[in-house]
């Protein structure tokens, strides 16, 4: 039960934190159409997070493990957990930077989600399978949208290409975490309710290379820096603390408030 809870929380945390990051662009997009587009992606991600948090809350409330609070809701999971309790990948908490960096972060994550949800549609956990099936339709759009922007910027002007390549150099080191399984991901794959994340890397890499080739961009030959944290196990960069401070302020300052 604990592994299923942790696995479900990780799926929720990834979508919530990236959704919050992308929401920082609302009202600041390069053009109105794309401002609306990224805001719609935010809504999709938050919706995915809610579905997984709601399921995690049911699992926790039905659990006899005293580690968990048996009066858990989707809101307590989002707003009352501390930084080391979040299980999101490090990539999704990275700062937005410029438009190129935001687009690349979304592309990397959407490509990962696309292949992950394809596998999770066949999960032996009916709730996870149903959420994955619904979410895959949204993620298919996210992947297409971000891919088109990668190509547009990479194969655009000298400056747009340079910015995209710099974004790749900055974010590439965080992508390996997608495919390094945590203890609960290994358990999930073995028990059939999760996906073997290491098996997703081949398809993910092919998709990335295909898009980069069309965009006249290159994959880094080697990592310039090795990351020393593992977000899936609660070891995060300094950025997550700032995100949670902003996101959780109202609930922590005015507990149990009702709108």
Predicted pLDDT of residue 68: 58
Q: How far apart are CA 222 and CA 218, in angstroms?
A: 11
Predicted pLDDT of residue 253: 83
Poorest-confidence range of 66-70, 99-103, 213-217, 250-254? 66-70
Sequence-distant (≥ 6) Cβ neighbours of residue 139 within 8 angstroms: 44, 110, 113, 114, 117
Is pLDDT above 60 for 66? no
Q: How far apart are CA 75 and CA 79, in angstroms?
A: 6
Backbone angles phi, psi at 120, to 5 degrees: -70, -20
Reading the block at residue 73, the tokens are 């809701």
The predicted model gives 224-234 an average pLDDT of: 75
Is pLDDT above 60 for 224? no
The percent of residues above 90 in pLDDT, for the chain, comes to 78
pTM over 0.85: yes
Poorest-confidence range of 24-28, 38-42, 169-173, 202-206? 24-28
The predicted model gives 131-140 an average pLDDT of: 97
- Measured CA to CA in angstroms, residue 13 lies from 6, 37, 88, 255, 256 at distances of 10, 22, 5, 21, 22
Q: Which of 178, 186, 185, 191 is nearest to 230 (CA)?
A: 178
Domain residue extents for the chain? 2-253
Residue pair 234/174 in contact by the 8 Å Cβ criterion: no
What's the CATH class of domain 2-253?
Answer: mainly alpha
Q: How far apart are CA 214 and CA 161, in angstroms?
A: 12
Residue range 21-56, pLDDT digits in tens: 999 988 877 776 777 889 999 999 999 999 999 999
What is the chain's Cα-based Rg? Answer: 18
The percent of residues above 70 in pLDDT, for the chain, comes to 92
């Amino acid at each position: 039960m604990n592994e299923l809870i942790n696995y479900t929380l990780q799926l929720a945390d990834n979508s919530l934190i990236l959704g919050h990051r992308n929401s920082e662009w609302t009202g600041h997009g390069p053009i109105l159409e794309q401002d609306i587009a990224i805001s719609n992606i935010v809504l999709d991600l938050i919706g995915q997070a809610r579905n997984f948090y709601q399921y995690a809350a049911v699992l926790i409330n039905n659990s006899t493990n005293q580690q968990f609070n048996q009066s858990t809701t989707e809101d307590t999971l989002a707003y009352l957990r501390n930084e080391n309790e979040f299980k999101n990948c490090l990539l999704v908490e990275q700062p937005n930077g410029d438009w190129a960096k935001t687009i690349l972060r979304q592309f990397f994550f959407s490509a990962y989600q696309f292949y992950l949800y394809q596998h999770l549609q066949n999960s032996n956990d009916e709730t996870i399978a149903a959420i994955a099936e619904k979410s895959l339709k949204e993620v298919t759009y996210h992947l297409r949208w971000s891919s088109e922007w990668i190509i547009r910027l990479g194969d655009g002007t000298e400056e747009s290409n340079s910015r995209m390549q710099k974004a790749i150099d900055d974010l590439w080191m965080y992508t390996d975490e997608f495919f390094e399984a945590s203890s609960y991901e290994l358990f999930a794959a073995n028990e059939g309710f999760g996906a073997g994340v290491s098996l997703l890397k081949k398809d993910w890499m092919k998709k990335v290379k295909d898009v980069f080739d069309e965009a006249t961009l290159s994959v880094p030959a080697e990592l310039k820096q090795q990351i020393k944290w593992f977000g899936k196990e609660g070891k995060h960069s300094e950025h997550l603390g700032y995100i949670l401070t902003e996101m959780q302020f109202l609930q922590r300052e005015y507990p149990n408030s009702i709108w």
